[in-house]
Amino acid sequence: MKKYLSLLIAVLFTLNAGGGKAKIVFDSTRYDFGYIQEDKGKVTHSFKFTNGGDAPLIIIDTRSTCGCTASHFTKEPVAPAGTGSIDVTFDPEGRPGTFRKEVKVYTNARKASIKLIIEGIVVPKK
């Protein structure tokens, strides 16, 4: 039994080692909104990415550091050399002043998570 288990593990390792890996490559991982007006409402930036690997890329989840920041992402697997996007929305309501928010992106790529950063300055309501 032990011999068969070792053989099974060796076969699975060999099959996995020959398989490709996805690689997420962003045009940029940081975006500065500059000055935004609190009374104008939410602002959104779309972070574009490419699968630079040789296996399908899957976005597993995204998580923000605060409830004022939300994200939506490409749900379908992205083929090698294919593109996708992650839209990050910031709500400036009640948050005058400088802000810097992070969104962690979890994927099946070589580097399992990547940080996206949005920043700017909220001009308060008059």
pLDDT digits over 32-91, tens only?
999 999 999 999 999 999 999 999 999 999 999 889 999 999 899 999 999 999 999 999
Gap between the Cα atoms of 18 and 80, Å rounded: 16
Regarding predicted confidence, which is higher, 1 or 38? 38
pTM of the entire structure? Answer: 0.81
Structure-token match 């099959």, residue found: 15
How far is residue 60's CA from residue 86's CA, in Å, rounded to a whole number? 12
Q: What is the pLDDT of the chain when averaged over all its residues?
A: 87
pLDDT above 90: residue 110: no
Cα distances from 121 to residues 1, 29, 63, 95, 126, in angstroms, run: 64, 18, 22, 9, 15
Question: Over the stretch 43-57, which tens digit does the pLDDT of each residue have?
Answer: 999 999 999 999 999
